[in-house]
Structure 1
C-alpha cells in the first residue's frame, strides 16, 4: 500500500523544497504542480499581467488526470508527494485535490494532506 502526501500551500511557501527533503525520508516520487501546469501554460504568449484564457485550467486538469491514471496503472503501490497551491473556497483547487484523493483511493493508498502556512 502506497502513501500519497499532498503538500498544500501558497506559491513560494516552499512546497517543492519540502517535497524534496521529504522524498528522501519516505522514498517517494514527487509530482510538482508546476510540472503538471507548465506543459499547457508555456504554450501561451503572456506578459504576466493579462488574465489567462477561459478554460485553460481544464487542459491542465487533463494533464494531471493522465499523470494520476499512469500512477494508478503502473505504480499503484509506490509513494508519491504532490504539491498543490490550494486556495480555500476555490472550486478549481477543490477539484484538483479531489483528483488526487480519488486516485489515491483507486490505489488503496493512504492519503496524507498537509497544509503549509
Structure 2
C-alpha cells in the first residue's frame, strides 16, 4: 500500500513516518527528499522550481513502481485543498498507487495550534530546509483544509499529546485492520 501522511508543516510527519517504517518494513519518500533539490538549485515557486520537483518526483515514483508489492511506501506531504500545486501533487500520488496496484491510504495528522507553533520553530527544521513559520498553513481563525480525497481508507489522528512512537503504533494497528479486510 501507499501510506500517504498529510499534515501541516511541523506536526511531525517525518518523525512519525520514521517510527512507522521500522514497524512495517516500509520505505519513506518524504516530501523534502523530493523538494530539496529544487530548494537548493532554483528560486522558490519559480517555473524552474516546479519543473525540478516534477522531474525528481517522476524519478522517485518510477523507483516506487519497481519495489516489491509487499513493501509499503510512506509518502509525506503538506497539501491543502485550495492549492493548485497541492492538488497536482496529490493527483500524482493517487496515480502512483493505481499504477502499482496498491491501496492509497491517507493519514491526516493534526495537533493543536500552540503545539504546532512550538514544533515548527525547532532549529533542526532549518537544517533540513523545512519551513519554520507557524502561519504558513494556519492563518487567522481557520486552517487551510488538507487534502484527503482519493483514499481507499482514511485515518484522522490528533498527535498533540502523542509521542511519535505511540502515533506510529496507532497507525500500524489501523493499517492491520485494513489489510485484514482486503
Short-chain TM bin: 0.7 to 0.9
Matched, 1:92 2:90: no
User: Which residue number in structure 1 is paired with residue 11 of structure 2?
Assistant: 13
Judged with a 3 Å threshold, the aligned counterparts in structure 2 of structure 1 residues 55 and 38 are, in CA distance, closer, same or farther, namely same
Counterpart contact for 2:37–2:52, Cα < 8 Å = no
Counterpart contact for 1:76–1:107, Cα < 8 Å = no
Query: Unpaired runs of 5+ in structure 1?
Result: none
- Root-mean-square deviation (CA, aligned residues, Å) is 1.6
Who wins on radius of gyration, i.e. which is larger?
2
Q: How many residues align?
A: 109
Matched, 1:37 2:35: yes
Of 67, 73, 95, the residue aligned with 1:75 is: 67
How far apart are residue 69 of structure 1 and its match? Answer: 1.3
How far apart are residue 88 of structure 1 and its match? Answer: 2.1
How far apart are residue 23 of structure 1 and its match? Answer: 1.1
Query: Unpaired runs of 5+ in structure 2?
Result: 111-182
- Which structure is higher in RCO with an 8 Å CA cutoff and minimum separation 6? 1
**After the TM superposition, which parts of structure 1 deviate over 6 Å for at least 4 consecutive aligned residues?**
none
